[in-house]
Chain A
Amino acid sequence: MKKVILASGAALMLTMGAAQAQEKTLTISVYAFAQDEFKQLVYDPFEKICGCKLVVETGNSVERLAKLEANKANPMVDMAVVSMADALAASRAGLIDKVDTAKLSNFNKIYDVAKDPNGDGMSVGYTFYATSIAYRSDKMKIESWADLLKPEYASHIAWPNVTTNQGPPALYMLGLALGKDTPDLAAPIEAVGEKKGEIVTFYEKSSQLVQLMQQEEIWAAPIGRFSWAPFTKLDMPIAWANPKEGQTGGMNVMVVTKGSKNRELALQFMDFWLSTDTQTKLAEKLIDSPANKEVKLSDAIANNLTYGEETAKSLKLIPSAVALDNRAGWVKTWNEKVGQ
């Protein structure tokens, strides 16, 4: 028995020693998406440079924001990547600090639209994406967002649920097409509600759409450009629509948590992620479209991403404040008109 106690005591001391040697730890909170690639292209190389340990927390934005809020007094996470609207929500809730952009050597290399997306200095854009319609070009012609609801098409489309990131932007564009683009999205939600029986499904995960498209269950769906690549591999004529109202989309941003004890390290990590080298590698693997204007991509790669400052500028994004102030109302209207 004594031997066992001695051995476990020794083991405990060894682990403690190891923990002390690894003094610097940076905790980041990111989307649970392409983590194998992120580890290989971003996390591992950064750990080598900083000589620190990176702890990665993943989850969807709601879960991760709830966690930030719960640990507000004693923040566990040092930096997080979230959507523009969630960054504003975090800022209003007093969870994040201003980003000290003077410490980001790559800051001047990123597109102007990404430098301070919410205009409050609390976030820096690192990637953005277009949202448009993926459709079977042999079955239909899409010239406007409203075309999706045409009687001959409506029973062959999937529409993003209002609770997804693609839901509100798609409704916003439908509102523009209908000529009724109020912030409450009442008209487009009503229009979708009228067709709810015909629309195949209100999707929550875009990964599901590839199978539905392959099985000819659907011919079209509004999607984010980041989920476009698998569609191009299907043996079907699938096109990316360029509707006359334009394309919408979203931008993901980096934020630093208020009260983080590793601020310098967090900024060093953000700078590394924004560097031309890292952004190029992530783009080449079709993971994130670059926000760094020095990134040069081949046409083949660029075609699968949202590439270039002109494209970025042309996206019709819902302003964060509008999204935040109306989100609850959108879900309520949606549940009344579409949910039942």
Chain B
Amino acid sequence: MFQNRAEALALALPAAFFAAAVFLMPVAILLSDGFRNPVGGWTISAYTDFFADPLNRTVFLRTLRLGAIVTVVSAVLGYAAAFAIVNLEPGTKGKMTGLVVLPLMISPVARTYAWIVILGRTGIVNQALQLVGLTDAPLRILFSETAVFVGLLQLFLPLMIISLISALENMPKDAVPAARVLGANWFQVFWKVILPLTKEGLVIGGTLVFTGSLTAYITPAILGGSKVLMLETLLYQQVSVSNNFVSASVIAFILIVMSFAANILLKRVATARNKQRVPQ
């Protein structure tokens, strides 16, 4: 299309300049604060200090744990839902996909506030538990890791389902029947046929859900509060309460590293399985 590479590059220049000026540079300046030595030069002492504090370690591990659990559970539920939706009649499929997307159109604040009512002591979950006799007194679910988990799962599950729906749709239609004919049970069908063929969707969905869970603010702030601090709520506290921008910059950097690491890890898992299948 272009006569030479230079012309193409020239066209990309304004966008590249814009991205560099309003995104890359400010981010670099922000993140460099965490490595700046107050007396001059560079240091990683802000990072060693951060991890030396037991509270920060607890928050870091909690964020990692909740992110991982939300991602795994949403993958399990996501496959089931996506598989069911893909096999529907075209008309119904569109409606069901619409229903999956619908929560994404409602503000996370409204959705999270609804959970306060649902998970409360007098909420529907506790009423149901008491009705079937699973508990005598109402359980305290709000302001616990369980509440944050439920909130995050509901928030990000649609992203996983949508990624998996498009992956499953791109899968050859006769792959599953062929495997069945050749005597594979459903577990083998999933593990050896569906999973390898949809891994791209899983990597995209997994990255979206994991990164989303790491960086969500409203849900952990409202459902967990200061009793269940996550990195994002800790970051807010550092900026707006303690005015500690160095520590906030450290947390921001950790969050970015965690997001990239999750993406690389998921991709590696996917390609590792791929290589196994290639006949030597």
- Name B111-131 residues within 8 Å CB distance of A: 116-117, 120-123
Cβ proximity bits A151-164 to B, threshold 8 Å, 1 near / 0 not: 00001000001010
Contacting residue for A217 out of B54, B120, B242, CB 8 A: B120
Determine whether A63 belongs to the interface, using a CB cutoff of 8 Å to chain B: yes
- B212 beta carbon closer than 8 Å to chain A: no
Q: Which residue of B lies closest to A211 (CB)?
A: B116
Q: What string of 1s and 0s marks CB contacts (under 8 Å) between A200-229 and chain B?
A: 111110001001100111000000000000
B121 and A217 within 8 A (CB): yes
| Pair B55/A335 contact, Cβ less than 8 Å | yes
User: Which residue from chain A places its CB closest to the CB of B234 in the assembled complex?
Assistant: A339
Contact A340 B58 (CB under 8 A): yes
Restricting to B24-70, which residues have a CB under 8 Å from any CB of A? 53-55, 58
Give the CA-CA distance A98 to B191 in the complex, in Å: 75
Pairs across A and B, CB under 8 Å, 20 listed? A62-B243, A63-B240, A63-B243, A155-B140, A163-B241, A201-B225, A201-B226, A201-B227, A202-B225, A202-B226, A202-B227, A204-B226, A211-B116, A215-B116, A215-B117, A215-B122, A217-B121, A331-B242, A339-B55, A340-B55
The smallest C-beta distance from A329 to any residue of chain B, in angstroms, reads 13
Q: Which residues of A contact B229 (CB under 8 A)?
A: 339
Asked if A60 CB lies within 8 Å of chain B CBs, one says yes
In the bound complex, residues from chain B placing their C-beta under 8 Å from that of A196 are 227
Binary B-proximity of A302-337 (CB < 8 A = 1, otherwise 0): 000000000000000000000000000001000110
CB-contacts of A60-83 with B (<8 A): 60, 62-63, 65-66
A335 contact set on B, CB distance < 8 A: 53, 55
B240 touches A215 (CB 8 A): no
B143: CB under 8 A from chain A? yes
Q: Which A residues touch B242, using CB under 8 A?
A: 62, 163, 331
The A12-45 residues at the B interface (CB cut-off 8 A) are: none
B142/A62 in contact, CB under 8 A = no
Give the A interface residue count (CB, 8 A).
Answer: 25
Residue B259, interface by CB 8 Å: no
Q: Find the B residue at minimum CB distance from A59.
A: B240
Picked from B53, B54, B143, B240, the residue with its CB within 8 Å of the CB of A60 is B240
Q: A63-B240, A215-B117, A340-B58 are in contact. Are A200 and B123 (CB under 8 A)?
A: no
Q: Which of A62, A208, A212 contacts B241 (CB 8 A)?
A: A62
Q: How distant is the Cα of A161 from the Cα of B240 in the complex, in angstroms?
A: 14
A212 cross-chain contacts in B, Cβ below 8 A: 116
The chain B residue with its CB closest to the CB of A163 is B241
A335 to B121, CA, bound (A): 27
Among A155, A203, A211, contact of B225 (Cβ-Cβ < 8 Å): A203
Chain B residue at smallest Cβ distance from A65: B243
Given A161-B226, A215-B116, A340-B55, the answer on whether A200 and B142 have CB atoms closer than 8 Å is yes
Residue numbers in B under 8 Å from A211 (CB-CB): 116
Task: A200 to B147: give the CA distance in the assembly, Å.
Answer: 13
What per-residue 1/0 map shows which CB atoms of B93-127 lie under 8 Å from chain A?
Answer: 00000000000000000000000110011110000
Is A217 in contact with B225, judged by CB distance below 8 angstroms? Answer: no
Nearest-neighbour CB distance to chain B for A170, whole angstroms, equals 14
Q: Closest CB-CB distance, B151 to chain A, in whole Å?
A: 15
Contact digits for B140-151, partner A, Cβ 8 Å, 1 yes 0 no? 101100000000
Q: Which residues of A contact B225 (CB under 8 A)?
A: 201-204
* Cα-based distance from A66 to B53 in the complex (angstroms): 25
- What B residues does A60 contact at CB under 8 A? 240
Contacts of A216 in B (CB 8 A): 120-122
A336 vs B240: C-alpha distance in the bound complex, in angstroms?
20
B116 touches A163 (CB 8 A): no
Shortest distance from the beta carbon of B113 to any chain A beta carbon, whole Å? 8
**Cα–Cα, bound, A215→B242 (Å):** 31
Residues of chain A within 8 A of B58, CB atoms compared: 340
Cβ of B154 under 8 Å from chain A: no
- Knowing that A155-B140, A335-B55 touch, tell me 5 more A-B residue pairs with CB under 8 angstroms: A62-B242, A200-B140, A202-B225, A208-B222, A339-B55
Bound complex: CA A66 to CA B244 (Å): 10
Contacts of A204 in B (CB 8 A): 225-226
B159 → A minimal CB distance (Å): 28
Which B210-240 residues have C-beta < 8 A from chain A?
Answer: 222, 225-227, 229, 237, 240
A36 to B240, CA, bound (A): 23
